[in-house]
Structure 1
Amino acid sequence: MYSFLTVSNWPDYELIDSGNFEKLERFGDYILARPEPQAIWDKHLPPSEWERLAQAIFKREKGSTEKGQWQLRRGMAEQWFIKYEYQEMKLRFRLGLSSFKHVGLFPEQDPNWKFIYEAARQLKSKAPKILNLFAYTGAASLAAKAANADVTHLDSVKQVNYWARENMEASNLDQIRWIVEDAMKFARREVKRGNIYQGLILDPPAYGRGPNGEKWQLEDELNELLKLCAQLLDPTDNFFLINLYSLGFSGLILENLISQNFNTHVKANQEVGEIYLQDRGQRKLPLGTFYRFSTVLYNKIDTK
C-alpha cells in the first residue's frame, strides 16, 4: 500500500509557510525560518509576514549548502523544550540552534513515532528488543521505550547521544542502552553474536562518517546493511521501519530492497510511501520516503 503520512494533533509544532527554498516553523513558543531545498514554489505569506513572525533566521555561509549562523531576535532562546503526547506516551524534547540549520528534531517523523509506540506495545514479546540505528537525538528510541521496550540506541556522534539521554531524562524514562559506533560494524557484530531484535528502526543519512572515520554512502552501503538487518530481525514477531531523506531515493527502491532482503519474514502488513508536512497555504512539503512492516495488524494502529 502506497501511503502519504503527515503530522497530526501536535500543539507544539506547526509548519506555517514554505517556499523559495525556505520553511517557517513554530516549535513550541518560538518561530524559526530556515533553508529547505525541496520548497521550490513561491511562499504563501508575504516577506513582511515572515519578517514579523520569525524569531530566529538561519543564514547560510557563502559557498556552503548546510553550514551557517542563526540571527536571533530579542527574547529568542538558544535552547528550549517542547512537549509531545500520544495516548499514554508523554515525551519532552530539548531543541537547540545548530550551525547546520538543524534543531535536534525532525517533526515530520510524528506518524512513525506513533507507529513505533503502537507496534512495540502489541508485539507478543513482553519486553521486545528494539534496535535504533542512526538514532540521532532519540525521539524514536523514546517512543519505543515509552512502550516498555528494551531499547538499544546507536549513533556515531557522542554529543548526539548525550542529547538523546537528556531527552530521555526529561521524559521521565530510563534504561536505554547507548552505543557510539558505526552502524555497519555494529550490525555485523550483532549478526555474529546471533542476537535477535523484535524491532528495527533505521534513519540513515545520504552521507556520513563513523566515530573512527568510517565512510557511509547511502547508495553504496544500504543494501548490505539491510541484508544484516534481515538476519537480526525476529521473523515472526516484529516490526521494521526505515526512513530516507535523500533526493532521488523513491519508495520503489525501498520496496525492491525490502522484498529482496526480508523474503523470509512475515510481511502481511506493510506500507511504503512519502512523509510530508503541510503548511497553512495547503502546500505539501515532501520530506522523505519510508517503508514499514509489522506482524501487528495496521487496523489496530491509529497513526493519524
Structure 2
Amino acid sequence: MPDIHLITPAPWPDYELIDSGDFQKLERFGDFVLARPEPQAIWDKSLSDRNWDEQAHAIFRRDRQSPERGDWQTTPDMRDPWFVSFRQGGLNLKFKLALTTFKHVGLFPEQSDNWAYIHDTIKKLSSGVSRPKVLNLFAYTGGASLAARQAGADVTHVDAVKPVISWARENMDHSELDNIRWVVEDAVKFVRREVRRGNHYNGIILDPPAYGRGPDGEKWVLEEHLNELLKSCADLLDRDDFFFIINLYSLGFSSILLDNLMRQVFGMVPNSEWGELVVEDNYHKRLPLGVFYRFASV
C-alpha cells in the first residue's frame, strides 16, 4: 500500500491562505484579500474578527434563502474581475478571477501541485509520444488544461457549463496559449462516445462535483455515477504511456474510499499517490480541501 500524501501548494507569490477558522478562510489572491465560508475550518481563527474585517477587500455573505448562493460586501478599491499569475518550473499561467454568487472566484489554489505534476509528467511522456493527448473532464476554468497545453499536449477540455468554457478560453488567451479543444457536454455522455469510437488518451483528469447538471439537464450524482465513469476512463486510457488524476471535493469521500475504488477499477498501477489536498495557513493550521489519487507510467 502506498504512503498517503498531503499535497500543499508550493510557494506562490500571488496566493496566500492568511488565516482559517470559525468555518471561514481569509485568502489573498494577488492584490486582494477575500473572506469566504469554509465548512472544514472548524477550529478558532488565529486573528481577531476586527483584523479580518480590516484586511478583507471582499467578504462573502450567504443568502438566508439559499445554502449555496450569496453576495459579496466589497471595499471601494476592490476590482472585479482581476488577474493573478502562476509561475513554477516550466509553467507561466495567467488567470482571470471574479466574485461569483456561489462564493467561488474561478481558481482552486490547492490544485497548483497537480498543475506542476501534469506539466512535468507530460514532458516525460513526450520522450516517447510526440504529442500526448490529454482529456480534462469537469474542467471548470481550465487550470489543468492550461498546464497540459503549455507542456505541449493536445488538450480536450470538457465542461457542461458554457459560460465556464468561455472563462477558460479567456484564461488560455491571457496565458498566451492556443488550440485547446473546447467541448460543452455532459462528461459521462462524452466519455461513452469516445469509448465507442475507440479513442485513447495519454492523460485523463477528473474534477467532478458532488452534484451537477449537464447542458441538456443530465443529472450527475457523484456516488451514483463515479464508478461507471471511472470504468469508461480506464477503457480510454492508453496502455503504455499514461497518467491519471482525480480530485474529489465531496465531504462524504475519504482518501481510503477513493483508493479502494481506484484499485478495483485500474488494478495495480505504477507510481500511485493518494491522500488529501491541503493548504496551510500562516498560523500552521492545515486546511483539508478534498482528496486526490494520481498515477503515471513515468
Shorter-chain TM-score tier: over 0.9
Provide, for residues 151-170 of structure 1, a one-character-per-residue CA deviation record: whole Å limited to 9, x for no partner.
00000000000000000000
**Equivalent residue for 2:144?**
140
What is the distance in 2 between the residues matched to 1:258 and 1:125? 25
Amino acid at match of 2:33: I
Could you tell me the TM-score, scaled by structure 1's length? 0.95
> 1:50 aligned to 2:57?
no
> Equivalent residue for 1:301?
none
**Distance across 2 between alignment mates of 1:233 and 1:185:** 17
Q: Paired residue for 2:80? A: 78
Provide the C-alpha distance between the structure 1 equivalents of 2:66 and 2:17, rounded to a whole number of angstroms: 25
Question: Percent sequence identity over matched residues?
Answer: 60
The answer to whether the 8 Å contact 2:89/2:116 transfers is no
Distance 2:11 2:129 in 1: 29
Taking the aligned partners of 2:270 and 2:297, their CA distance within structure 1 comes to: 7
Q: 1:300 matched to which residue of 2?
A: none
Question: 1:1-304 alignment to 2 at 5 Å?
Answer: 1-123=3-125, 124-263=128-267, 267-296=269-298
Structure 2 counterpart SS, 1:188: helix
Maintained 8 Å contact 2:161/2:215: yes
Superimposed CA distance per residue, residues 147-190 of structure 1 (whole angstroms, 9 cap, x where no aligned partner):
00000000000000000000000000000000000000000000
Moved over 4 A (4+): none
- Structure 2 distance, partners of 1:250, 1:79, is 34
- Distance in 2, matches of 1:253 and 1:143, equals 28
Secondary structure class of the residue paired with 1:66: coil
- Amino acid aligned to 1:73: T
Q: Distance in 2 between matches of 1:42 and 1:218?
A: 31
Unpaired runs of 5+ in structure 1? 297-304
CA distance in 1, matches of 2:67, 2:111: 23
What SS does the aligned partner of 2:272 have?
A: strand
Figure out how many residues of one structure are paired with residues of the other and give that number: 294
Alpha-carbon RMSD: 0.8
Aligned mates of 1:17, 1:62 — CA distance in 2: 25
Name the SS of the counterpart of 1:99 in structure 2: coil
How does the TM-score come out when normalised to structure 2? 0.97
1:205-233: CA deviations, max 9, x gaps? Answer: 00000000000000000000000000000
Quote the offset at 1:63 in angstroms.
Answer: 3.3
Displacement of 1:88 after TM fit?
Answer: 2.2
Give the distance between the partners of 2:219 and 2:97, measured in 1 at CA.
Answer: 28
Identify the residue that residue 302 of structure 1 maps to in structure 2. none
5+ residue gaps, structure 2, are none
C-alpha distance in 2, partners of 1:14/1:72? 19
Please report how far the alpha carbon of residue 268 of structure 1 lies from its aligned counterpart in structure 2 after TM superposition. Answer: 1.9
1:64 Cα offset (Å): 2.0
Structure 2 letter corresponding to 1:118:
D
- Which amino acid in the other structure matches residue 48 of structure 1? R
DSSP-derived class of the 1:269 partner: coil
